[in-house]
Each structure stands twice: as structure tokens, then as C-alpha cells.
Structure 1
Amino acid sequence: MTVRDTLVQSTIKLIRRDGVAGTGISAVLEHSGVARRSIYLNFPDGKAELVCAAAREAGDTLTAYLRDLAARSDPLSALDEFIDLWKRGLIDSDFEDGCPIVAATLGRAESPEAADLAGEAFANWQNILADALGPDMEDEQRRSLAALVIAAVEGAVIMSRARRSIEPLDQVQAQLAALLPNP
């Protein structure tokens, strides 16, 4: 892994836990173990550029995961796998790690470009999910249901972190399962 990749991965980890505002350059350096000058060699525009690179990487990674999941699973199985991934991640991090795309969205004041990239990631996810819902629904209904799934899961992750419980994810999973087409 290059120094740049190490810095980006550390930033993703930290913004998942502390948000954009709570993630400073010093924290990234400490977490990554790289020298201070590496930040400025790789990200001459500083924190905003680093957060943007982290949002791009996180968005691309999650988009690729969702694309793969949609290609190999029916909508209901994909939902279960995706929510189970979040449940494990929350439990394993003691409810500290949230979604880096949500963090980038909420960090618009410090990195508007990262927030814009987060918006693109959400749009990509909606397109992937809408396409995965199949031809049995009208286009607008598929797009609306895909938006509902994303909003519900992301909201449940936030609620789960706040409550330190996977109960909101369990509840959302049950309700969304009733709305998705059965295989």
C-alpha cells in the first residue's frame, strides 16, 4: 500500500468514527503512522483534499460492493447480506463506526467536494438498487423503493450507533423485507 493509500484508509476509518469535523490532520498522522510531510506531498491542499480522496475511495468501494451484491443475489437476500454486514461492523466497532459517505455528506462545511462525491455515491447506489428490483415494477416505483431502502438503512445505522443497539437495523430489515419482491 502506498503512503497515499495509507493516509486515505486512515482518513476513512477516522471519519467513520469521528466525522469530518472531528478528524484532524494530527489524528490521521497518528493513526496512519506516516510522517507529517507525507500529507503535504500527497495532498497539497490539505485536509479538504484528503477528505475528498477518502470520500471518493469509500464511495467507489461501497458502490462496487453493492454492484456485486446486486449481480449475485435477489433483492431480499442482498438486503439481508447488506444489513448483516452493518450489524457486524457496528458490533465489532462497539458502535463507533458509521458510514463514511454519511460522514462526508455531513462534512460539507469543511469539504464541499467530498459532500458532492457522497451525493454521487448515493445516486449510484439508488441506480444499482433500482435496476436490481427488476422489470416487474414501473421505473419510478423502483427508483422510489431504492431511495427508501438507502434512506432507511443509513438512518438505521445512525440510530443504531446512537442507541448502541442493532435493534433499529433489525426493525428496518423486517419492514423493508415486506416491501421487496420475493424471489
Structure 2
Amino acid sequence: MTESVRERLIGSTVELMQRHGVAGTSISELLTHSGVSRRSVYLHFPGGKNELIAASVSESGDAMASMIEELVASMPPGDALSAFIGFWKKLLEGSSFIAGCPIAAAAYGGQDAPEARAQADAVFSHWRRLIAPRLAAHGMDAAAAAAMATTVVAAVEGAVMLCLAARDTAPLDHVHTQLTTLLAAQTG
């Protein structure tokens, strides 16, 4: 099945945000990367770059949420964490430590795209709401599960940033070890 113009624009925007952040994702580079016309951008996203970036954050966040939902529904917390960290390690190594999280890029680039920052907040909140009930189902009380869900998202996202800086997955390994210990101590 062929990608629609809208899907190509969003996919290209996500890739460019992963590599260059929000400010570094220009319309001209997006046109070159996606192979679509300038007119197509404004036909699909009348609000221009800010609307396109917000839509890209939403769609990439939803894709990640689907993965998280599948992991936490089918595995115990420690195994789901291992799979999630494995995903990030594969993405980082596969991109030669160039591509990071487009949601984090939107949060950092909020001064250039305030709608995208708000969308990043919504995405991160959604991820935490997917994780917390599964932790509660494994023995944590609701407040502790919510706090642990925030800790997991924050620690993994922070580790991804450290991995990019170091060009090494060791920070994810360290976070994995520490979070596994915390989860084992607090879940059944």
C-alpha cells in the first residue's frame, strides 16, 4: 500500500525531528526529504509547520503508545521494561546514535512550536496512564504505580538523551538495571 501525502509528511517530520529537533526541521528540508510539494504541506496542514509538527508528535506518540500498551498487557513489568529499553537501544544503534525521541524533541522545542510542546505533554501523560494500571495490577498501590510510571518514562527518556550524547547505550543499561530493581521490590 502506498503512503498518502499526509503520511509521507508526518513520517518525514518525525524522522527530521528525531535527528534535528523542532528548530532544525525546516519546511525546505521537509520538502526535500518527503518529496512532496510546498502546496501539499499547506493543503494537509493549513497551520503550516507548527500544525504539522503537532500532528507528527501526536501520531508518533500514538504509535509508541500502541507498543507500550501491547508490552504492558502481555508481559510482567520487568519484561515489558526490558522490551521497551530494547526498542530504544535498537533505534539508537540502528541510527548510529543520530535519532532520538521525537516527543522529547517537541518538548524541548516548545518555544518554536508551542502546540507541539502541549502535544508532547499529552503523549507523555498517555504513556504514564498506560503503565500505571499494569503496575497496580502487579501489586503496587495506585499512588505508587503512578509515581513509578512517571519514573519509568522520565528515566528512559533521559537515558535516551544521554545515549545520544555519549553515542553509547550504557546509560540505558544503567537505567534498566536500576528500574528493574525498583520494579522487583514493588511488584508481585
Normalising by structure 1, we get a TM-score of 0.96
Q: 1:11 aligns with which of 3, 10, 13?
A: 13
Match of 1:115 in 2: 117
Aligned residue type for 1:164: R
Normalising by structure 2, we get a TM-score of 0.94
Unaligned runs of 5+ in 2: none
Quick one: distance in 2 between partners of 1:137 and 1:68?
Answer: 20
Count of paired positions: 183
Residue deviations 1:70-117 (CA, integer Å, cap 9, x gap): 111110000000001100110010001111110111121121111111
4+ residue runs of structure 1 moved beyond 2 angstroms?
Answer: none
After TM superposition, give the deviation of residue 60 of structure 1 in Å: 1.0
Match of 1:168 in 2: 171
Q: 1:53 aligns with which of 43, 52, 55?
A: 55
Quick one: distance in 2 between partners of 1:58 and 1:103?
Answer: 12
Quick one: distance in 1 between partners of 2:122 and 2:37?
Answer: 32
Match of 2:36 in 1: 34
Aligned residue type for 2:178: Q
Quote the RMSD (CA, aligned, Å): 1.1
Residue deviations 1:37-79 (CA, integer Å, cap 9, x gap): 1112111221111101101111111111111111111100000
Quick one: distance in 1 between partners of 2:133 and 2:45?
Answer: 36
Match of 1:103 in 2: 105
Residue deviations 1:126-148 (CA, integer Å, cap 9, x gap): 11111111342221111111111
Counterparts in 2 of 1:150-169, with a 5 A limit?
Answer: 150-169=153-172
With 123-132 and 13-22 compared, the bigger mean Cα shift is at 123-132
Match of 1:125 in 2: 127
After TM superposition, give the deviation of residue 34 of structure 1 in Å: 1.1
* Structure 2 contact 65–126 (Cα < 8 Å) conserved: yes
